Every structure is written in C-alpha cells, then in structure tokens.
C-alpha cells in the first residue's frame, strides 16, 4: 500500500493519540494490588466452640492414709496470710545449704502445671490435673513425709497448654476452696475432704476461660469465698457453708477473667477487693451494706493477658504489671467524701522500667522487688529493685550473669528465697542497695518451667517445677 | 669424569625452569582437585545468638533477603495467643490483618482443635524481618527463628549481614553444617 506522504503526519498524530488513549485506559483499569489477598477474621477456620461438657464437681474421692505429723503453722493461700508473700513465721531458716546441700525431704510427681501449695498445720493441699483419669484433684499430703492422705476431684477434659493446673487453694480451719483450670470452683471440708458445693464459672456466668487456663487463686474472706468470674458478673461472694451467692458485682463493661487474683485492700476507711480484669481494673466494696458494689473502676489498664496481681500500698498507690508486651502502670487511689477515683500516675512499656510477667512483685522496706520479663530490655530476667516513687528508675539489678526466667520468689526469716525456672533455689539477703546472694543449689534435677508460687510453714519449703514437687527442710 | 657432572649455566637455568613449571602445575592441579573434592563454606545464623535486630531484612544484598523465618514445630506450643503471630495488645485473636504482627502476612494460622493452632511460614512472602521471631522468643518457646536459605543465598565472600550483625550470630561454616535449626538442635551447655 502506498501512503501519501502528505497524510503521514496526520496518520502519525492519530496513531499516537490512539496509543495514548489506550495507555490511559490501561492505567485507569490497572489494579496494582490485584495479587494481594485480604487477611480477614475467620481464615483460621476456628469453630464456634462446643457446648461444653457437664462436670460433676466433687464427685470423685479417694482416701489413702491418715498418718501425718500435726504442726502449728500455715501458708493458707496465694501470697500467704497477709497477701504480701512475706512469711511471718518466727522459725529460723538456713541461710546457706552447706556442703551437704539442701535437705530434700520428699518429692512427688505431678501433672504438668504450675499450681502452688497451701499448707495448714502439717497438711499440704495442691490442685493437680491427672491426665490418665481426665480429672482435677485437690490432693492432700502430709507436709513432713509427702504421703498422700486423700484426694477429691471431678472429671473434666483439660489438654496440655503450657501446663494445666495453675492456682493455689485457699484454706481455713474449716474450708478449702479451689479453682480448676477450666474455672470450676470446689469447696470442701478441710479436715475430711467432704464436698460442700461447687460452681462451674464458665457455664454459670457465661465467662471465658483465660488463655492457657485460669491462674486466678480463689480468696476466702471471713465466711465468704470471693471469685472474680467475668462474664455476666465481675465478681461474686459465696457463703462458704451453703454455697449461696450473697452478693454479685455487675459487669456492664463485659470485662473478662484474667489470671490475676483478687487482693483485699483497706483505704480511705473502706475495705475493698482490688481486681485487675482483662478489660480494666476495679475496687469492689468488701464490707458494709453496699458489699459487692463498685467503689471505683478504670479501663486505663486494659491488657490481654495479666498474670500478676495488683500491689496495693498504704498511701493509695496501686502498682499493676503484666507481660506479653503490656508493661506496667502506677495508679493513685483517692477518696473524697466516701467516693473513690483512680488516677493514672504513669505507665510504660516493659523495656522502660520495672515489670513482671508471671509473679506479683514483693513490697518490702518501701521498695518493690521482682524479675523483669523477657522483653524487659537489657535487664530482662534479672531481679530488680525499684522505689515506688518512680518504678521506671532501677535502684539495683542482679546483673547480666544472674537471670532467673519466670520463677517465683518470696521472703521469710529476713531472706528472699528465689527459684530459678530451671529448679535452682537461691537465698538472697534483702537489700535496697544491691543484689546480695547468700547461697544457691539445684533442688530439682532437670527442672523446667518452675513458675508456681512457693509455700512455707514450720521451716518446710514447698516448691515445684512443671512436673515435680519437692519439700525442703530449711530449719536451722 | 668430574668434568661430566659440571652443568653449563644454560642447562642449570633450563632445569630450574622445568622444575618450577612442574611444581606450579602440580600445585594448581592439587588446588583444583582439593576444590573439586573439598567441602564448600557457607554462611550460617546461630539462632541462639540472634537478637532479632531486623538487619537481616535490610542489609542482605538480595531483595527480599535470603534470610527467612523457619518454624521448629516440635518446640511450638501451638498457642491461641501466639506472640509471633499477633501484635502485642491486638484487638482480637483472629486472622484480621490489623491483628497480625508480620508486615507481609507471611504466617498462616490454622485451627487444629481447641485450644491449638498451627502457624506456617510462607517463605515466598517472608523477608526475614524477625518481628515474629522476637515475639515468639519473648513470649513463647522460641520455635520461630531465622535461617539463611542456601537456595537463595549467593554466598558473598563477605556477607553483608554478617558485617552489621550486632551479636556476631552469622559465621562461615562447612556446607554440611549449613543450617542450625532449633528443635532437633539444642544449645550446648
């Protein structure tokens, strides 16, 4: 075909115009994100969950022995009699293990977990999950011999999930109250182990079992068992003798149960229960005609996973901390004409100051002591001392060669006993000026995940790792 | 007789050159044989020294990096709340993009049965930023960890990441020890 040279410029112009138009249309319709896929909820195919099995709380019982040595002292609950994790026992304890090492009286194999012991006058109580029998059991042992006396429990399906049982029973002269991994509350006669009453918190309160099962240790206050339920109620008080609910705190914010435990606190002329839920923190009236009503609340502290319990100080400051990136917060409680407010003094990330992941800090001699979490920056897993005036400033730390994992610690006879999560027991001299180690010894061979709170009575220290419980005679 | 043994200068130089050539050829042949039969050396990350600083993603000569996250399933807790999958304080424990820690959504979360979930790394999407490794190490069992993938690595004479690694976690090892995978491998005491 012959092209007229005179028409060539016009032809070129139209061709270029057509090309430009096509290019524009291509650009207009081109989707550069066409290869991207959306990440939407539900893509993991998680089901809605089953209806849940019916659990006959307290249905199982076995008696093994009646032989034990009655003693005088108690460690009646999580953090001891005064909720401070400091033993008031006058029994003098060893400050060094000596050349022969610690005197281990006995050891018992347990189901995988982190539940701690309560002790009452020569008897030890521990909640333990038996995988072969698919059952939660409250097990009663002789403190001095480790011989099992009896066990009371119920069938419930619990799968291994970084341990199973993880709470400490509450014990009085007459009663024992336990909280199982899936939030089954069981109340027994302490001496006989007879079943008195039980509550399926998840079912009765449409509550959600916390991730990795609950770590909330039940509280006995007078004649009342206090349980933070989450779900349709925030907290309930239950008559110990009858199992009847005597008060209930509403939960309009639909806060969820955390691993934190309820801490009694008296401030501004009122006794209250301080609880750190997943959703917020609250103070609930513990006495008077308005018992069970909310005195104050704040949603400023709203973390997904909270294991430590609040540390309440006499001047109204409340220190709360958590792991999994949460950090810590200091609240100031104020009372004005009978009404309370909780103001945030400061909060921070775990790398910016004092924080704990599993254990509740110790308050001693006006200072806080604890072990920093793994995301605690350069001081991670070290024991740290801070002053409550500013918990972001470290007074001292144990040093880069003294890291302890997530293990427990408490005070007795003027010493700090600290269990490394690998089963090494440290004896420290409490100090607000520096880390002072008196001695250390491996007390659980091949120890693993020793996170359970410690218990001590009559000079006998009870501790455990994920599968083994041991009793050490610390009497001098 | 004695005169027969005396070599001329020319013969001496010729003999020396022959000997030098023979030695050189022998040496080159030996080196070539050693290279053909000997083990190669490659770069390796020690997951126990790694501090998850993020430089593996930014300093590798390849884009995306030859460093990828691998998962030691025998160490994993199969948690619902996985510190390697979810951002700290995420709104909900579901697969919504806003809850995920991985910037490229390279981790697939799969429900197994209550309360267990499996986490699978998509190597194509992973860029070795170590955000998931940091989360898993801080809050979990440390089953997620970084490795240099030798099907991608161009084995630079001087690894660009090794030069900037703050914990000297990258070193040259024999190809037979190319990977130091957690789980089957445990940290020496």
Q: Per residue in A397-441, pLDDT tens?
A: 999 999 999 999 999 999 999 999 999 999 999 999 999 999 999
Q: Which domains does chain A have, with CATH numbers?
A: 60-473 (2.130.10.10)
pLDDT band at A3 (very low <50, low <70, confident <90, very high): confident
Q: How many residues does chain A have?
A: 476
A186 SS3 class? strand
Q: What gap in Å lies between CA A180 and CA A167, rounded to an integer? A: 7
Q: What gap in Å lies between CA A120 and CA A216, rounded to an integer? A: 20
Helix, strand, coil shares, percent, chain B, to 5: 30, 20, 50
Nearest to B111 among A37, A46, A305 (CB): A46
Q: Is A162 in Cβ contact with B111 (below 8 Å)?
A: no
Q: If you measure CA to CA, which chain A residue comes closest to B89?
A: A304
Q: What gap in Å lies between CA B123 and CA B114, rounded to an integer? A: 27
Percentage of the residues of chain B whose pLDDT score is greater than 90: 74
Q: If you measure CA to CA, which chain B residue comes closest to A301?
A: B89
pLDDT band at B35 (very low <50, low <70, confident <90, very high): confident
Q: Is A159 in Cβ contact with B116 (below 8 Å)?
A: yes
Contacts of A40 in chain B (CB under 8 A): 95-97
The residues on A that touch B, with CB distances below 8 Å, are: 37-47, 49-50, 159, 161-162, 211-212, 303-305, 323-326, 373-375
* Closest alpha carbon to B150 in B59, B72, B47, B40: B40
Q: Is B109 in Cβ contact with A44 (below 8 Å)?
A: yes
**Contact of A340 with A268, CB cutoff 8 Å:** yes
Edge-to-edge strands, sheet with A455-457: A103-109, A468-473, A460-464, A455-457
Average pLDDT, chain A: 95
Q: Is A325 in Cβ contact with B138 (below 8 Å)?
A: yes
pLDDT band at B189 (very low <50, low <70, confident <90, very high): very low
The whole-model pTM stands at 0.84
Between chain A and chain B, how many beta carbons pairs sit less than 8 Å apart?
A: 71
The domain segmentation of chain B, as residue ranges, is 42-177
Q: What gap in Å lies between CA A366 and CA B36, rounded to an integer? A: 71
**Tens of pLDDT, residues B79-99:** 999 999 999 888 889 999 999
Contacts of B83 in chain A (CB under 8 A): 324-325
* DSSP structural state of residue A359: S
CB-count burial class (<10 Å; 0-12, 13-18, 19+) for B16: exposed
Contacts of B109 in chain A (CB under 8 A): 43-44
Would the pLDDT of A125 be above 60?
Answer: yes
pLDDT band at B34 (very low <50, low <70, confident <90, very high): confident
User: What string of H, E and C letters represents the secondary structure of A283-325?
Assistant: EEECCCCCCCCEEEEECCCCCCCCCCCCEECCCCEEEEEECCC
| Least confidently predicted of A81-95, A368-382, A457-471, B23-37 | B23-37
Q: In A74-204, which ranges are E strands?
A: 74-75, 103-109, 118-120, 123-130, 135-142, 148-155, 170-171, 175-179, 184-189, 195-200
Q: Is the peptide bond between B95 and the residue preceding it cis, with omega within 30 degrees of 0?
A: no
* Closest alpha carbon to A44 in B84, B131, B97: B97
The residues on B that touch A, with CB distances below 8 Å, are: 77, 79-81, 83, 88-90, 92, 94-97, 100, 105, 109-111, 114-117, 137-139
Q: Is A303 in Cβ contact with B89 (below 8 Å)?
A: yes
Q: If you measure CA to CA, which chain A residue comes closest to B125?
A: A36
CB-count burial class (<10 Å; 0-12, 13-18, 19+) for A157: exposed
Mean of the pLDDT values across residues A390-394? 97
CA distance A158 to chain B (A): 10
CA distance A385 to chain B (A): 22
- The strand pairing partners of A264, in sequence order, are A273
**CA dihedral sign of residues B91, B92, B98, B99:** positive
Q: Which run of H or of E encompasses B133? A: helix B131-139
Contacts of A45 in chain B (CB under 8 A): 110-111
């Amino acid at each position: 075909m012959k092209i007229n040279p005179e028409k060539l410029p016009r032809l070129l112009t139209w061709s270029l115009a057509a090309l430009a138009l096509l290019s524009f249309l291509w650009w207009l319709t081109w989707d550069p994100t066409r290869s991207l896929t959306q990440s939407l909820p539900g893509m993991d195919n998680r089901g809605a969950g089953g209806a849940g099995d019916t659990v006959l709380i307290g249905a199982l019982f076995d008696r093994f022995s009646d032989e034990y040595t009655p003693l005088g002292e108690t460690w009646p609950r999580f953090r001891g009699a005064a909720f401070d994790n400091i033993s008031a026992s006058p029994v003098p304890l060893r400050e060094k293990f000596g050349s022969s090492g610690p005197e281990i009286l006995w050891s018992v194999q347990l189901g995988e977990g982190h539940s701690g012991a309560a002790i009452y006058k020569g008897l030890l109580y521990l909640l333990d999950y038996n995988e072969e029998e698919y059952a939660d059991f409250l097990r009663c042992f002789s403190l001095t011999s480790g011989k099992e006396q009896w066990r009371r429990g119920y069938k419930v399906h619990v799968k291994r999930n970084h341990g199973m049982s993880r709470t400490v029973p509450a014990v009085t002269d007459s009663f024992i109250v336990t909280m199982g991994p899936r939030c089954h509350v069981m109340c027994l006669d302490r001496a006989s182990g007879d079943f008195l009453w039980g509550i399926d918190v998840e079912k009765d309160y449409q509550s959600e079992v916390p991730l990795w099962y609950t770590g909330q240790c039940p509280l006995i206050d007078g004649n009342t068992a206090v349980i933070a339920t989450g779900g349709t109620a925030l907290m309930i008080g239950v008559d110990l003798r009858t199992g009847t609910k005597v008060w209930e705190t509403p939960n309009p914010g639909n806060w969820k149960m955390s691993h934190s435990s309820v801490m009694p606190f008296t401030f501004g002329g009122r006794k209250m229960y301080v609880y750190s839920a997943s959703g917020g923190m609250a103070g609930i009236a513990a006495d008077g005609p308005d018992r069970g009503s909310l005195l104050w609340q704040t949603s400023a502290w709203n973390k997904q996973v909270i294991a430590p319990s609040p540390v309440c100080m006499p001047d109204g400051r409340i220190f709360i901390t958590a792991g999994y990136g949460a950090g810590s917060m200091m609240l100031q409680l104020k009372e004005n004409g009978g009404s309370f407010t909780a103001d945030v003094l400061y909060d921070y990330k775990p790398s910016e100051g004092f924080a704990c992941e599993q254990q509740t800090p110790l308050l001693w001699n006006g200072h806080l002591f604890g072990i920093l979490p793994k995301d605690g920056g350069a001081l991670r897993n070290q024991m740290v001392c801070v002053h409550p005036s500013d918990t972001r400033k470290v007074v001292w730390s144990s040093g880069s060669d003294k890291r302890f994992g997530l293990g427990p610690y408490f005070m007795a006879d003027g010493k700090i006993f600290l269990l490394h999560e690998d089963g090494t027991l440290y004896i420290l001299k409490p100090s607000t000026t520096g880390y002072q180690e008196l001695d250390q010894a491996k007390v659980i061979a091949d120890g693993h995940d020793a996170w359970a709170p410690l218990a001590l009575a009559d000079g006998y220290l009870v501790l455990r790792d994920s599968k083994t419980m041991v009793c050490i005679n610390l009497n001098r | 007789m004695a005169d027969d043994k005396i070599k001329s200068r020319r013969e001496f130089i010729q003999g020396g050159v022959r000997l030098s050539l023979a030695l050189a050829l022998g040496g080159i042949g030996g080196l070539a044989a050693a290279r053909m039969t000997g083990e190669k050396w490659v770069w390796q990350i020690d997951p126990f020294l790694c501090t998850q600083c993020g430089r593996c993603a930014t300093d590798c000569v390849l884009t995306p990096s030859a460093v990828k996250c691998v998962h030691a399933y025998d160490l994993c807790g199969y948690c619902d709340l996985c510190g390697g999958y979810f951002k700290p304080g995420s709104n909900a424990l579901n697969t919504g993009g806003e809850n995920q820690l991985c910037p490229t959504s390279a981790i697939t979360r799969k429900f197994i049965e209550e309360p267990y979930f499996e986490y699978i790394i998509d190597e194509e999407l992973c860029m070795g930023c170590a955000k998931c490794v940091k989360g898993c190490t801080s809050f979990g069992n440390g089953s997620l960890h970084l490795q240099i993938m030798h099907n991608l690595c161009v084995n630079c004479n001087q690894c660009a990441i090794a030069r900037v690694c703050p914990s000297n976690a990258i070193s040259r090892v024999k190809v037979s020890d190319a990977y130091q995978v957690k789980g089957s491998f445990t940290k020496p005491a």
